[in-house]
């Protein structure tokens, strides 16, 4: 199985991707996390990506596609893959379509999450994440037990530099202009596009996404 998570910034792709990957035993390729890790390491890719990310613009396709190709080649052939944050425009969608057959895969489904802009801006301003284990929190909707500390590993939580309201609004414009056309691209390519209302509690979104995948692909997830 190859499933692409689509939806605007802050809609819950990372939150839901973590649960769904665990439920179905899939791997995840999260381009935003790969880029943030490259920035922390100070690698050439990280330095090249930094200014684009801080502005809320997309990082150039050639850097992203090379990074994704490398990750895909390292994956176990028998394991499903969830793409989070990739593809981000039609050119990346076409690049993915060209690369997947090389590893005997194709895009089977797309989960399209939606929510109103004001909800997305608030989620961005409240988001905190653990730089060590990657767990996501939200000071308004899903706070850690101790303020500023990861429940799982005790690490100090961080607020992403591109989560300031102005930058989130710019990222929303970028989403509408560059990423939304992928919905039509996938509908026309014959992939199954499953639309999920992301403006519900985290658990309700998870249930909706899980049921949609199980029904569409005759899957059975881990009940835990």
Which residue, 126 or 221, is less far from ligand AP5 as judged by CB? Answer: 126
Single out the residue of 28, 39, 71, 123 in contact with ligand AP5 (rule: CB under 6 A). Answer: 123
Burial of residue 131 (number of CB atoms within 10 Å: 0-12, 13-18, 19+): middle
In angstroms, rounded to a whole number, what is the distance separating the alpha carbons of residues 104 and 102? 6
Least distance (Å) from ligand AP5 to the CB of residue 16?
Answer: 7
Single out the residue of 4, 80, 81, 85 in contact with ligand AP5 (rule: CB under 6 A). Answer: 85
**Two tokens at 152?**
């799982």
Least distance (Å) from ligand AP5 to the CB of residue 86?
Answer: 4
Does 86 participate in binding ligand AP5 (rule CB under 6 A)? Answer: yes
Which residue, 71 or 213, is less far from ligand AP5 as judged by CB? Answer: 71
Number of residue whose CB is nearest ligand AP5: 32
| φ/ψ (deg, to 5) at 5 | -90, 120
By three-state DSSP, how is residue 114 classified? strand
Task: Tell me if residue 28 is catalytic.
Answer: no
Does 24 participate in binding ligand AP5 (rule CB under 6 A)? Answer: no
Task: Tell me if residue 88 is catalytic.
Answer: yes
Rounded to 5, what percent of the chain is helix, strand, coil? Answer: 50, 15, 35
Q: What is the DSSP string of 178-224?
A: IITHHHHHHHHHT-EEEEEE-SS-HHHHHHHHHHHHHHHHT------
First to last CA, the chain: 21
The catalytic residue positions are 13, 88, 127, 160, 171
Q: Contact residues for ligand AP5 (CB under 6 A)?
A: 7, 9-15, 31-32, 35, 52-53, 56-59, 64, 85-86, 88, 92, 123, 126-127, 136-138, 141-142, 162, 171, 198, 200-202, 205
């Amino acid at each position: 199985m190859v499933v692409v998570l689509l939806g605007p910034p802050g809609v819950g792709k990372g939150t839901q991707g973590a649960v769904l990957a665990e439920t179905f035993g899939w791997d995840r390729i999260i381009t935003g996390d790969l880029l943030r890790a490259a920035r922390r390491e100070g690698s050439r890719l990280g330095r090249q990506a930094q200014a684009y990310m801080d502005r809320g613009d997309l990082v150039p396709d050639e850097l992203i596609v090379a990074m994704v190709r490398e990750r895909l080649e390292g994956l176990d052939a028998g394991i499903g893959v969830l793409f989070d944050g990739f593809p981000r425009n039609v050119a990346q969608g076409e690049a993915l379509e060209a690369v997947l057959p090389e590893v005997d895969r194709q895009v089977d489904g797309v989960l399209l999450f939606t929510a109103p802009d004001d909800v997305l801006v608030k989620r961005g301003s409240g988001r905190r994440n653990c730089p060590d284990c990657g767990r996501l929190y939200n000071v308004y909707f899903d706070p850690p037990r101790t303020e500023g500390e990861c429940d799982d590993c005790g690490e100090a939580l961080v607020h992403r530099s591109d989560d300031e309201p102005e930058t989130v609004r710019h990222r929303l414009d970028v989403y509408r202009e560059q990423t939304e056309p992928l919905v039509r691209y996938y509908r026309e390519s014959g992939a199954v596009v499953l639309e999920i209302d992301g403006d519900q509690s985290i658990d309700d979104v998870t249930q909706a996404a899980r049921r949609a995948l199980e029904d569409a692909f005759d899957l059975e997830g881990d009940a835990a």
